[in-house]
Amino acid sequence: MAGTLYVVATPLGNLGDLSPRAAETLKRVSAVAAEDTRHSKPLLHHAGSQAELLSFHAHSSERALERILRILSEGRDVALITDAGTPAISDPGVELVAAARERGIPIVTIPGPTAVAAALSVSGIGGDRYLFLGFLPRKGSDRRRLLSTVASSEWPVVLFEAPNRVAQLLTDLAEACGADRPASVSRELTKVFEETRSGTLQELSEHYAEAPARGEVTVVVAGTGKERVEEPSVDPAARAKALLAEGLSRKDAANRLAEETGISRNTAYRLVNEL
């Protein structure tokens, strides 16, 4: 029989948040697949685990994936963990879980900390319903499309961001959602310097421009409270014809088309040049 893959949530920072069940699982499995083995060694020591520690992260090779699947196929149990929080939630692990499921390997969740719920609980914004978008693309039409999604969302939206990009994210959100939209920024959750700051997007943007954030950051943006009304979809080909008819160059028409419809620039250039 195959072993079991345990998807184990680990503390965001405070080792006291490791559940007894998670600690017992880490002690009992044959191997632990970790995002950063150096980061995870203290956690395993804290849990009293002697399991083999394997590296498995977002850039791991197919060979690393097959090695873990082979261990499971031999009947040995494996725990999947990330540096903090729950695996496969804007963290590595999806490929391993999917591959194990395809092969009929048993998968068991050991739930626990997640920055999404932690940040919502202290935001003062509420989380009866919410939209989680993780890390936004750094630039381009995909970023603009998701910023628009945040702006029009009926419910609060939770985002992750690297500390050095928080000020820019808040500036972009203020432009997309309006400067007065309520939001909160949580950083270093469960750690010594934990902080949650609430205010408008404009206020938060100005604060973090002057005092750059440190540590892991989770942003919660209040929703509109109103049902989103979908606008009629635009036919990219028809819009491309209209832009050319306005006298725009093919290059300018393609750029406008990508911005307005959310399609990639390559696709926009192809549509324009085919006309």
In this model, does residue 190 exceed pLDDT 90? yes
Please, which residues bridge with residue 160 across strands?
135, 218
The whole-angstrom separation of Cα 65 and Cα 211 is 41
Across 54-72, average pLDDT:
95
Q: What is the pLDDT of residues 200-223, one digit of tens each?
A: 999 999 999 999 999 999 999 999
Angle at which helices 94-102 and 62-73 pack, to 10 degrees? Answer: 50
Q: What pLDDT score does 260 carry?
A: 83
Please, which residues bridge with residue 79 across strands?
6, 32
Q: What pLDDT score does 231 carry?
A: 57
Q: What pLDDT score does 114 carry?
A: 95
Please, which residues bridge with residue 80 across strands?
7, 33
Confidence of residue 127 (pLDDT cuts 50, 70, 90): confident
In this model, does residue 72 exceed pLDDT 80? yes
- pTM of the complete model: 0.81
Across 100-116, average pLDDT:
97
DSSP state of 105: -
Q: How many CA atoms lie within 13 A of 145 on its CB side?
A: 11
Q: What residues does each domain of the chain span?
A: 5-113, 116-221, 236-274
Q: What pLDDT score does 92 carry?
A: 85
In this model, does residue 138 exceed pLDDT 60? yes
Question: What are the residues whose beta carbons fall under 8 Å from the beta carbon of 154, sequence distance 6 or more?
Answer: 129, 223, 224, 225, 226, 227, 228
In this model, does residue 229 exceed pLDDT 90? no
Across 26-34, average pLDDT:
98
Question: Homologous superfamily of 5-113 in CATH?
Answer: Tetrapyrrole methylase, N-terminal domain (3.40.1010.10)
Confidence of residue 1 (pLDDT cuts 50, 70, 90): confident
Please, which residues bridge with residue 217 across strands?
161, 187
Q: What pLDDT score does 111 carry?
A: 97
Confidence of residue 73 (pLDDT cuts 50, 70, 90): very high
- Give the percent of the chain with pLDDT over 90: 77
Q: What pLDDT score does 230 carry?
A: 57
- Give the percent of the chain with pLDDT over 70: 98
Beta strands in the chain (DSSP E): 5-8, 31-34, 52-55, 78-81, 107-110, 131-135, 157-161, 182-187, 195-200, 217-221
Q: Which fold has domain 116-221?
A: 3.30.950
Confidence of residue 271 (pLDDT cuts 50, 70, 90): confident
Q: What is the pLDDT of residues 167-183, one digit of tens each?
A: 999 999 999 999 999 99
